[in-house]
Structure 1
Amino acid sequence: MAAEPPPSKLHSQIDINAPPPCSADDSSLATETLREQRLSFFASRYTRRRRRRRSDTWIISLFVILHVLAFALTMAVNDCWRKSHGDCALGAFGRLSFQPLRENALLGPSASTLDEVGALRRTFLTENHKTWRLFTFPCLHAGAIHLVINLCSVVFIGIHLEQEFGTLIAGLIYVLSSFNGTLVAALFVEKRPAVGSSGALYGLLGATLSALIQNWDLYTNKFTALTSVLLVAIGNFLLGLLPYVDNFSNLGGFLSGFLLGSALLSSPQVREVVQGKGGLLDNDLKSSIKSRLRQKLDRPVYRSVCLFLFVLMLAGCLVAVLQGIDMNQYCKWCRYVDCVPSKRWSCSEMEAFCETMVSHEQMTLTCMGNGNFKVLPFTNISQARMNDLCSMICS
């Protein structure tokens, strides 16, 4: 029987190196990379490269500072301590103290002061042709409560939008939405003074909602983000049901922001994968992400239609305002969108007439409509302030 040949002549030896064990760092990187295809809406800016810094929020910060300065100037002009002879809320603030709550429930200035610093009334546009008020109207707040709620909402929504999509786009949306909201408000404004600083906020809300809808599949906490946007919108809308705060500017700003957001905002960028860590998996993942981003950006018809609708809305409202059109003539119930009557204030458009009687360094104002009267322990009072008190007595 022949001897069996040695194994080395029948089999060639092949050395197979075992794959190196996957380290915990590589595994976590792959898992993190997969998760980053779906981003947290209000935190997605943190998954970008670190080229964006806190300084990228300067435009929203600038708008906030300007609004605070405008309100401080308004209260200085109001000068409740002198013009109302100390009958003020929080009188310790001196010249910056607020009108009594029965006069302004939002802790703010008097109606005559709002008129003086640039609020809107129907007569200012139709009779006096003071179109410059279209530019001061969105800079004013009705009171400290309005200021705090509005600016906190702007910071919450605006800083995210600016960090996510850039300073230029956030600034354009803020300014254009504010102006278009002012034009819509001018079509519905009545005889009482109104301010509309919240129109810009609603423009940011509309743009944020647009970005959320366009990239719905990209985010993880989309229902939480949607709830946050709706709560901010509802809260500020309820605030607009009080006197002096205009709600039509909010509606116009929201629609403008949504259209501008649909036309200008793109999909957020996802952090690039570190080379040499994931091999083929990373390349496939990056190709998938880039493909999805191209699909998100490839909406020329949709963007063009939204931009056209915004320009059409802006031009139509501008022409209607210059023609002096009053939309309240065609919509009798629309006034309740802007002001809800209460025992503490009046939404009536009736002009107030008061009879004045002066005796023994006292002044008595008597409303000719309802017979209510108020005795003032002074006589040196301006006509504008007398009109404020007369309106308050008659309401």
Structure 2
Amino acid sequence: MADPERGPPEKPRPNNYSYNSNQYYVGTSEAQWTSWLIPMFVVANIVVFIVAMIINNCPKHNLGFDGKCVAKFLGRLSFQPLKENPLFGPSSRTNWELLNGSRLYIGIRLEQQFGFIRVGIIYLLSGFGGSILSALFLQSNNISVGASGALFGLLGAMLSELITNWSIYTNKAAALLTLVVIIAINLAVGILPRVGNFAHIGGFLTGFLLGFIFLLRPQFGWIESRNLPANARVKSKHKAYQYVLVVVASALLIAGLTTGLVLLFKGENLNKHCGWCHYLSCVPTSKWRCRN
């Protein structure tokens, strides 16, 4: 039967056929999709960033209270003083993270291996989950917008994909350590001003749970065993723990989104119930201020 993402089924390949999308993965006979959705997001983010920088026009609008524009040779594209925006971007009135576009590369591998439909669903729902948590921690009605929550959802999905498909990876510890370091660095960026880290956290948690649901891989040898005699085939496509993770993740996802929406429509502000949580979004230092 034809797959709506991949097209018509391919002809059977030799049993020794394999591909290796990264150095940690055990090859199988699954074909890769062509990645187009994530590259399209990359282009869109770059275009929006350039437009935001042109509108910002630091040389004209910067009053000099926080220092001089960075990279003034770029003209209208020069960055705000680092004391105001340490992320090399525009001012608060047109704020956009340059890192937004650079983070999008993380979804290319997922789209190549799982297709644009599943990755697109994770991207959209992660953005929704991140927006809910961000809205619940609003401070002084300062609304945060952007694609960061959806991007962190892809990071979370990469982590859960590694966990649920643990048995088909080779250098498991190296793969896990590499991914954890990448996640930690990206979350650490959230303590800088002008960054909605609650959207990052909410998107990451949403994507993490969605990864268990959408990114299951057959256990090693199942695809190749379809060409073997019935008595020699691997009986189950997935392992028991994968099914358990799907059920648990589905329950937590539904409960989390439902609770978040109920609190949001009730007008709850979670900052009133957590006096230190604002430090998860911005930590003031001598180099920058966490101002509204």
Q: 1:253-285 CA distances to partner (integer Å, 9 max, x unpaired)?
A: 11111211112222157686599xxxxxx8379
Give the Å deviation of 1:205: 1.8
Tell me whether 1:244 sits opposite 2:194 in the alignment: yes
Question: Larger % of strand: which?
Answer: 1
Tell me whether 1:100 sits opposite 2:100 in the alignment: no
Q: 1:119-175 CA distances to partner (integer Å, 9 max, x unpaired)?
A: xxxxxxxxxxxxxxxxxxxxxx33x3x34xxx44431x3111112222100111011
Quick one: which of 25, 29, 35 aligns to 1:48?
29
Contact residue 196 and residue 250 of structure 1 kept, 8 A: no
| Cα distance change, pair 98–67 in 1 and its aligned pair in 2 (3 A) | same
Give the TM-score of the pair, scaled to structure 2: 0.80
Q: Which residue is 1:198 aligned to?
A: 148
Specify the code of the residue in structure 2 equivalent to 1:62. Answer: M
The gaps in structure 1 that reach 5 residues or longer are 1-28, 115-140, 276-281, 350-395
**Percent identity (aligned):** 38
- Between the two structures, name the one with larger relative contact order (CA 8 Å, sep ≥ 6): 2
Q: Which residue is 1:322 aligned to?
A: 265
Q: 1:49-98 CA distances to partner (integer Å, 9 max, x unpaired)?
A: 55x35xx2111111111111221121122122222379522122222221
Query: How far apart, CA to CA, are the structure 1 residues paired with 2:21 and 2:232?
Result: 21
SS class of match (2:179): helix
Give the TM-score of the pair, scaled to structure 1: 0.61
Contact residue 259 and residue 306 of structure 1 kept, 8 A: yes
Give the Å deviation of 1:43: 6.1
Q: Which residue is 1:293 aligned to?
A: 237
Contact residue 241 and residue 338 of structure 1 kept, 8 A: yes
Specify the code of the residue in structure 1 equivalent to 2:116. Answer: T
Give the Å deviation of 1:341: 1.1
Matches within 5 A, 1:1-395: 44=25, 47-50=28-31, 52-53=32-33, 56-84=34-62, 87-114=68-95, 141-142=96-97, 144=98, 146-147=99-100, 151-155=101-105, 157-191=106-140, 194-268=144-218, 283=228, 287-288=232-233, 290-295=234-239, 299=243, 302-348=245-291
Contact residue 48 and residue 269 of structure 1 kept, 8 A: no
The gaps in structure 2 that reach 5 residues or longer are 1-13
Specify the code of the residue in structure 1 equivalent to 2:228. Answer: N
RMSD: 3.2
Contact residue 158 and residue 204 of structure 1 kept, 8 A: yes
Contact residue 196 and residue 247 of structure 1 kept, 8 A: no
Query: How far apart, CA to CA, are the structure 2 residues paired with 1:234 and 1:335?
Result: 18
Give the Å deviation of 1:228: 1.8
Contact residue 122 and residue 154 of structure 2 kept, 8 A: yes
| Cα distance change, pair 285–64 in 1 and its aligned pair in 2 (3 A) | farther
Query: How far apart, CA to CA, are the structure 1 residues paired with 2:261 and 2:44?
Result: 25
